[in-house]
Structure formats: C-alpha cells, structure tokens
Amino acid sequence: AYGCFGNPEVDMIVGPGNQYVAEAKRLLYGKIGIDLIAGPTEIAIIADKTADKEIIASDLVGQAEHGPNSPAWLFTNDQTLCDYVLKRVPELIADLPEHSKNNAGAAWRDYGEVILCNTNEELCQVSDQYAPEHLEVQAESLNWWMDTLRNYGSLFLGEETTVAYGDKCSGPNHILPTKGAAKYTGGLSVGKFIKTVTFQRMTKESNKEVGAASARISRLEGMEAHARTGDIRLRKYGHQN
C-alpha cells in the first residue's frame, strides 16, 4: 500500500491470511481497496436423517481445528444426529495432536452449536440468519437446498465434498465472507476487480425539466450556488425559471 521494499504503491490488496493479515487490511482500507475483512473461519452443516453421522462430526472438527475462535454449527431436524454429534465431537477432538486438539477443543467449547429444527424451511431460515462462511448440506433433495438457501460464502452440496476440499484443492475460491457478511456480499471473484463507473449526457431541451427541478431541490436544501448552476442553463437555453 505504501510502496515499501522497492515495490510500487498498489490500489487494491486481496487474499487470505490470519488475524494479523485481516487487521492490516482493515487499517489500510480507504487508502486502498480490499476484497473483504474475513475471519475467524466458520462452518455450518445442514443435515437430515440420511446424513452419515461420523462424517458430520468429522467435518465439524476439521474446521474447528483452525483456531480457538472458529465457530462450528450443526443445523438439523434429526434428534439422533444431535445426540451423536454432541457425544462424538469431543472424542474426535481428544484424538488429535496437541496443537490441533487445543484449537478445536476451545472452538467447540466456546463457539460450537447444535440447533434442532422442525422442518427444512426452518433449517433454511436459521442458516440464512447465521450466513455461514462455509455451508455444507448433507441431506436429501440437494437441488431444493441450492435453490432455497440464500446467505452463505460457499456451498458444499452432498457428503462427497467438504470444506477442506475447497481450502486445498477444488476451489472455486476460498476468500469468503464471515460474521454474517454473506448476507450482503459474496467472496472474492472477478467481480471484485471490475470497477463500475457511470456517465451522463443531457440535451438542452431536457434542461427545461431537470434544471428547474434541480434548482428547486437545491434551494429547499439551502444550496443556492447549486441552484444557480441550473438557473444559468435555463437562461442560456431559453427556458424560464
């Protein structure tokens, strides 16, 4: 951003990073553009009675491993899955190497949630409210979920895919919104590098309406100099105030 180390100053910085990278980007935002302020990373899983319980528990632990403040959420309408996950996740965490165990254990203890819903529609409502960064769906009728869900950073449909695949291999991108930001933005994409600009052009005849309206609005706002930029054109083009 400042052209240090012999590099030119840049207009935009994008890319993933830990909490220090995220804070640096936040501090620089305004001087330059950034993709988004992201982190800590999140996972939510929507699952029904058809889901593989062991895979669900494993995927929750896999994301909790990121750090002690990484949320892991399960949204389900199956009570037996709730019971299984609440028992099994601590067991899987206990079997991890020390560093991963400490991270995942703290994350699950402080930020883990299991939410039991009644219907698929309620599951969608809860998920859209949380707007998770990574959202796995392991349930019947995958196309219905894809058509109905609205707020997520990236969607992983079916047990055959998982967040780690997106992290490491499959893409399409893993710089994604967190902390509910998926309600109003997606992740990094080509769209972030496209700058939208506008222009306007007006005829002398159109000034009859636009110039007069602009002058009236400006005077109501106490902006007399603004109003006179409309007045001068109305006089020049033969229109009356």
Strand pairing class (33-34; 134-138): unpaired
Q: Which residues are catalytic?
A: 133-134
Q: Give the tokens for residue 235.
A: 């006089």
Phi, psi of 32 (to 5 degrees): -130, 170
What is the spatial order of strands in the sheet that 112-116 belongs to?
Answer: 112-116, 72-76, 43-47, 134-138, 154-157
Q: How far does Cα 139 stand from its chain's mean position?
A: 23
